[in-house]
Amino acid sequence: MKIKLSQFHGIALLTVPALLLLLLVFQGCHTAGNKNHNEADTAISRRATNASATGFNKIKAAISCTKNGMIKEDSILYMHQGGEAFEPTVVNVTTGKSNADMAWIPGGTFSMGGINPTGMTDGGMEAMDDARPVHRVFVDGFYMDKTEVTNAQFAKFVKATGYITVAEQKPTAAEFPGVPPEDLVAGSVVFTPPSQKVPLNDISQWWSYQKGADWRHPLGPGSDLKEKEDYPVVQVAWEDAVAYAKWSGKRLPTEAEWEFAARGGKAGELYPWGNQLQQKGRWMANTFQGSFPDHDNAEDGETGLGPVKKYPANAYGLYDMAGNAWEWCADWYRSDYYNSFNPNTVAYNPKGPANSLDPQEPGQKKKVQRGGSFLCTDQYCTRYMVGSRGKGEYRSATNHVGFRCVQDAKQSNNQMRVAPKSL
């Protein structure tokens, strides 16, 4: 297993310029050896050539999911151990009440983390080692937006403040040293389905850095928000989400708050609604069906991003805690963070590590994202699973990442902590 993992990680640890060079070299060797290269090769060549250093850097930094090499036998072992690690959730006794926009999340003590889903039905191909070990966490009660922040809500913020998002700002040479000035253009990362099946080990086949893509033009300059007022705002970087949260008197959830809320008082289940991806044949979230990434057949009723509240809420009244758009959390992302907890104690209101570390891109400062998106699928990445984690460089945006906010409880909620079970 270690050999397999190290082989895959070896590719992941290449620097971005080296990876870009690899793509170009691959293109050159391949086409030189076969003059009659097929359409797929042509597509690879075109994408690789178009991937400027700025663009490819942005893509790598913004994307949560890449393949790794875990095999089925490993996953069965992890699945067994992970499943045993969950203990019942103990919910606080509180008097908080939900309102029209925000749900009261009572808080309490729960088992945080996720098992290795590879080898399971609908499990996908990612082991998600960063979500283990499962550990015991306590969070105070808080209010949480029932939906992801919508385009209409974000438009009010921009109108009131004149705020300009990261994607609308021209990247600086300091951010991208060595990149030619002509490549330093405002834009963002956009999912563009290829016209046919492509290898799943090359994210540039379906992600591209597009000039002029921003929250008003989530798919690029030719797109707009017409009739999408109730869609989640996307193409927002972490610092954009923080700016909105402050303006609205709220804040981003910690990763622990997010997972407690998403689990809805349940313990160890795979999804916010239970252990089956579908309930009685009904899709419970906006994810990806068909052939990833080239053809989304929208069995769940949506191709791409969809409106908020289309699928059932979880037990706390929260919509789209799986799928549709990823959601930024307050915490820095470290793949090894869960190893830092003492297995014999409960962590109280953890706020994440002091810094970021993604071994696949150690030079990038990344924040946690949760919930997965309309692109999640068991053919590639199943991070719509409730205990799984995502991450993104904090000044990067894509058209499948949004956010929702939380608010601290007021003293009048008279919340009472329930002492967690000693371990």
Specify the stretch interacting with Ca ion by CB under 5 A; choose among 10-18, 174-182, 301-309, 329-337: 301-309
Q: Does 286 bind Ca ion (CB under 5 A)?
A: yes
Residue 421 CB, nearest distance to Ca ion (Å)? 39
CB of 368 closer than 8 Å to CB of 352: yes
Query: At its nearest, how many Å lie between Ca ion and the CB of residue 383?
Result: 15
Residue 313 Cβ, how far from Ca ion at the closest point, in Å?
A: 18
List the interface residues with Ca ion, window 13-32 (CB under 5 A): none
The least distance separating Ca ion from the CB of residue 374, rounded to whole angstroms, comes to: 5
Minimum separation from the CB atom of position 323 to Ca ion (A): 7
Q: Which residue is nearest to Ca ion (CB)?
A: 302
Question: Given the rule CB under 5 A, which of 32-40, 141-149, 174-182, 286-294 is the region that contacts Ca ion?
Answer: 286-294
Give the interface segment with Ca ion, choosing from 130-138, 145-153, 367-375, 380-388 (CB under 5 A): 367-375
* Contact yes or no for 368/333 (Cβ under 8 A): yes
DSSP 59-109: HHHH---------HHHHHHHHHHHHHT----EE-B------SSEEEE--EE
CB-wise, 157 or 374, nearer to Ca ion? 374
What one-character-per-residue DSSP string does 224-274 give? Answer: --TT-TTSBP-S--HHHHHHHHHHTT-BPPPHHHHHHHHHTT--S-SBTTB
Q: Is 300 in the site for Ca ion (CB under 5 A)?
A: yes
Q: Which stretch binds Ca ion (CB under 5 A): 41-49, 55-63, 152-160, 293-301?
A: 293-301
- Residue 302 in contact with Ca ion, rule: CB under 5 A: yes
Q: Which residue is listed with tokens 């060079």?
A: 21
DSSP string for 6-32: HHHHHHHTS-HHHHHHHHHHHHHHHHH
Provide the minimum distance between the beta carbon of 297 and Ca ion in the complex, in angstroms, as a whole number.
9
Closer CB to Ca ion, 168 or 302, in the complex: 302
CA separation for the pair 221, 213 (Å, rounded): 6
Query: Quick one: which segment of 90-98, 163-171, 273-281, 294-302 binds Ca ion (CB under 5 A)?
Result: 294-302
The answer to whether the beta carbons of residues 376 and 384 sit under 8 Å apart is yes
- Cβ(95)–Cβ(59) under 8 Å? no
DSSP letters along 319-339, please?
--SSBSSEEEEEEEPBTTGGG
Q: Which residues contact Ca ion by CB under 5 A?
A: 286, 300, 302, 374
